[in-house]
Amino acid sequence: MKVLILGVDGYVGWPLALRLLSRGHEVFGADNFFTRKRVKEVSSDSVLPIRSFGERNRRLEESTGKWIDFYHGDVSDPEFIYDLLGDTEPDAIVHLAEQRSAPYSMLGLKQASETMQKNIISTMNLIYGVHDMVPDCHILKLGTMGEYGTPNLDIPEGFFEVEYNGRKDYLPFPRNAGSWYHWTKVHDSNNLMFANKVWGTRITDVMQGVVYGTRTTDITDPHKFSRFDIDEVWGTALNRFCAQAIAGLPITPYGKGGQSRGFLSLEDSITCLTLGLEKPPAKGEYRVFNQFDQHYSVNDLAEKVKEVYEKKFGKKATIKHVPNPRVEKEEHYYNPESRKLRGLGYSPKGDLQKDLVKIMQDVNDHRDRVMALKDVIMPRTVWGKSTGLPH
Amino acid sequence: MKVLILGVDGYVGWPLALRLLSRGHEVFGADNFFTRKRVKEVSSDSVLPIRSFGERNRRLEESTGKWIDFYHGDVSDPEFIYDLLGDTEPDAIVHLAEQRSAPYSMLGLKQASETMQKNIISTMNLIYGVHDMVPDCHILKLGTMGEYGTPNLDIPEGFFEVEYNGRKDYLPFPRNAGSWYHWTKVHDSNNLMFANKVWGTRITDVMQGVVYGTRTTDITDPHKFSRFDIDEVWGTALNRFCAQAIAGLPITPYGKGGQSRGFLSLEDSITCLTLGLEKPPAKGEYRVFNQFDQHYSVNDLAEKVKEVYEKKFGKKATIKHVPNPRVEKEEHYYNPESRKLRGLGYSPKGDLQKDLVKIMQDVNDHRDRVMALKDVIMPRTVWGKSTGLPH
């Protein structure tokens, strides 16, 4: 299969490329290095050192004889995406090329508008590009479990039977996101659903949980590492907690810490995405997957990180609740459904305890880099603050 | 009250300004003449002749002693909106400054992306501008009944009680729009709901039906006319049908004509918007109104236009169903609720029979202009056609 990964230089994009190559697929990739640039802007960096994309790709070829056919460009530029599709004629496209940080999107109007524009326009370009150039191609789009928010209900996979005033219909489940970033993913989902309605485009819309981890079965040595962010803007909770423990800083759940989310290991994420590609939707189908392994509260994660750290390194770790910079419920019901991927054969390999040992090992091997980033781990981006007119 | 109308040169904006002035409010207005320009691009024009904005405003002052404080600019430019809010310090803002044509948004990627960008970014600018400059100001935003689509259920006003797997919550009603334009209104509604969640911004989100008519109680002579579009891109169904009858063309419902929508007269639209402004939401409130008088099928409208035309002009009119250029259900259940505005005192004045007589009179007075536009009335914009890469 010919797969084009948009955002191939990212945390998920790179290990997905490794997996697809090792399974014999032909892999094309595109990136504009947006995340690298924006991470630098908040004085941060990947804790696991990663080389330039060209260098990574060259070393990949040296060690495996396989490489990614790479195109440098911005998916929010329609000309770039049309040229790319014309040149590569993929069977499937994985769209990971969006601004992916909730705190970044909440920094102010400039970042909020940039997130709206980049994310929505990139998906619009893809929708039209696929229709015009490769209409049978499968679009696998990365959304987030955060699109649903935290309703006081079970969360179905995209659609559900609604009853109102005695009548019934099968409708999209109401979305209720918690940041501008998360809302762009809702807007994308709606736009993709409509593209499917008008053109019958094959689409898999993945509501993914929070991904953690440094390794997959393909990441066997350091030159294959994916990026690993631990700062408050670009790092996710579990990765950040591990870095805090390693740095001897308190582990800091936001607010009461009863916020629950779906989580999955990087290995499981790559497995699920590969499964979605290898078992594509039927012609004319729009399908939604809730993609996660387990759900945990932030307090659960903090406790687990503390426990594993203390056992492995024989030192004390502390947990310190800090004021929640976000606007979100800190105690709530949470029970999302996730049956479709399991129905296709997904059997989770994640084991939080064991995965945490591996993460902490890898992060501790770069403890000097963690220490250099100590000042950007604690939350500064407050939901609802505004920085005024963009300059 | 100081009211700022964004999109004051438009079909609804202008008569709303007249009404607010006559009720003693201070009216500020902004426009970038987007609709005038884009209507010209499809070789069309308003059937009722309208002067330049400056000229209209000058004649308004001559005849009433009142005028609109006008600012020329683009709401999708953040600097313009911040300057405007700083200068005018309004108590309420009516946001009508969006690309408002469904067919226009379906012309191709260029127009689809332009609609996404202009509409979403203008609302984002407004959200941040109000928070930063006039946080207590009420935003009254024009959405559309089209945000809901045509579910096989009654349509509540924005929110409803959901039951799923035995648990209950009160959630946004699922949206299911029918064009890129309609989807931008859904995206705006979601973004406004989130702004209210984070900042408590006062918001009225109006799901308006299709507006028809040439007159309000304030439009007493021709120099006060609002624009009136009849072409397939910018004209709405009922206005277009009247023009077809006057021009001696067949009245052309799309497809089977069983498509039902909520409708209201221009007079009722202005009354409702004024009511929403004069009875604003509480501090911290986000409210959704379904704003329409009656719902009709396209066939109902065609029949009524035919009947009134034949009675008034003593000539035959014909109805001819044409292939539906849109992707939509042509026969469906339709029963939207509309109680909140009535609860605030809205008592519909629209009388379709009488209103049609007035519309046809006014349009017939400019029959030469209708005849000049004969070629742009019939549908050419097909949902799902693509024009390829934008130039």
pLDDT digits (tens, 9 = 90+) for B27-50: 999 999 999 999 999 999 999 999
| Nearest in space to A5 (alpha carbons), one of A124, A127, A142, A100 | A142
Ramachandran angles phi, psi of B265, nearest 5°: -75, 160
Contact A112 B124 (CB under 8 A): yes
Q: Compute the average pLDDT of residues B115-130.
A: 98
Q: What is the predicted pLDDT for the residue at B391?
A: 55
Calpha distance B274→B290 (Å, rounded): 15
Q: What ipTM describes this predicted complex? A: 0.96
The angle formed by the CA atoms of residues B249, B252 and B254, to the nearest 5 degrees, is 160
Calpha distance B180→B184 (Å, rounded): 6
Chain A residues with CB under 8 Å of B153 CB are 162, 164-165, 167-169
pLDDT tens digits for range A345-384: 999 998 999 999 999 999 999 999 999 999 998 877 788 7
The kind and range of the H/E element at B29 are strand B26-31
* CA–CA min distance B116, chain A (Å): 8
Active site residue B185: yes
User: Over pLDDT 70: what percentage of chain A?
Assistant: 99
* CA–CA min distance A124, chain B (Å): 7
Q: What is the predicted pLDDT for the residue at A264?
A: 96
- Give the closest of B79, B152, B386 to A132, CB-based: B386
Q: What is the predicted pLDDT for the residue at A293?
A: 97
Torsion of CA B368, B374, B376, B377, to 10 degrees: 110
Q: Compute the average pLDDT of residues B194-220.
A: 96
Nearest CA in chain A to B164: A153
Active site residue B320: no
Burial B193-207 (b: 16+ CB within 10 A, else e): bbbbbbbbbbbbbbb
Q: What is the predicted pLDDT for the residue at A303?
A: 97
| Nearest in space to A188 (alpha carbons), one of A151, A140, A236, A150 | A140
Query: Would an 8 Å CB–CB cutoff place B151 in contact with chain A?
Result: yes
Contact B169 A160 (CB under 8 A): no
State the residue for tokens 């490489």.
Answer: A67
Contact B82 A108 (CB under 8 A): no
Given pLDDT bands bounded at 50, 70 and 90, which one contains residue B390?
A: low
pLDDT tens digits for range B270-298: 999 999 999 999 999 999 999 999 999 99
Nearest CA in chain B to A177: B194
Q: Compute the average pLDDT of residues B16-24.
A: 98
Active site residue A381: no
Q: What is the predicted pLDDT for the residue at A236?
A: 87
Q: Compute the average pLDDT of residues A239-254.
A: 95
Does position A80 have pLDDT exceeding 80, yes or no? Answer: yes
Contact in structure between A315 and A132 (CB atoms under 8 Å): no
Q: What is the predicted pLDDT for the residue at B388?
A: 72
* CA–CA min distance B20, chain A (Å): 30
Q: Compute the average pLDDT of residues A7-11.
A: 98
Q: Which candidate in A153, A163, A192, A339 is best for mutational testing of the B interface (most B CBs within 10 A)? A: A153
What is the CB-side half-sphere exposure of residue B49 using CA atoms within 13 A? 10
Q: Chain centroid to CA B198: how far? A: 28
Q: What is the predicted pLDDT for the residue at A207?
A: 98
pLDDT tens digits for range A129-173: 999 999 999 999 999 999 999 999 999 999 999 999 999 999 999
Does position A391 have pLDDT exceeding 60, yes or no? Answer: no
Contacts of A359 (CB under 8 A, 6+ apart): A212, A213, A214, A215, A238, A239, A242
Query: Would an 8 Å CB–CB cutoff place B168 in contact with chain A?
Result: yes
Q: Which candidate in A85, A128, A180, A181 is best for mutational testing of the B interface (most B CBs within 10 A)? A: A128
CATH code linked to domain B2-376: 3.40.50.720
Residue type, B98: E
Q: Compute the average pLDDT of residues A74-87.
A: 98
Strand order in the sheet with A202-208: A69-72, A26-31, A2-6, A92-95, A138-144, A202-208, A286-291
What is the CB-side half-sphere exposure of residue B118 using CA atoms within 13 A? 22
Contacts of A347 (CB under 8 A, 6+ apart): none
Q: Compute the average pLDDT of residues B309-322.
A: 96
Q: What is the predicted pLDDT for the residue at B386?
A: 64
Q: What is the predicted pLDDT for the residue at B328?
A: 94
Q: What is the predicted pLDDT for the residue at A387?
A: 62
State the residue for tokens 């007249």.
Answer: B18
Calpha distance A244→A220 (Å, rounded): 25
Q: What is the mean pLDDT of chain B?
A: 95
Q: Which of A71, A181, A286, A346 is catalytic?
A: A181
Calpha distance A103→A117 (Å, rounded): 16
Q: Is B377 helix (H, G, I), strand (E, B) or coil?
A: coil
Query: Would an 8 Å CB–CB cutoff place A221 in contact with chain B?
Result: no
- Rounded to a whole number of angstroms, the distance between the first and last alpha carbons of chain A is 45
Chain A residues with CB under 8 Å of B162 CB are 151, 153, 162, 174
pLDDT tens digits for range B335-350: 999 999 999 999 999 8
Calpha distance B13→B70 (Å, rounded): 12
The kind and range of the H/E element at A10 are none
Q: Which candidate in B77, B107, B170, B194 is best for mutational testing of the A interface (most A CBs within 10 A)? A: B194
CA distances from A71 to A83, A96, B256 (A): 10, 15, 48
Q: Where are the domains of chain B?
A: 2-376
Q: How many CB pairs under 8 A join A and B?
A: 144
| Nearest in space to A46 (alpha carbons), one of A231, A210, A246 | A231
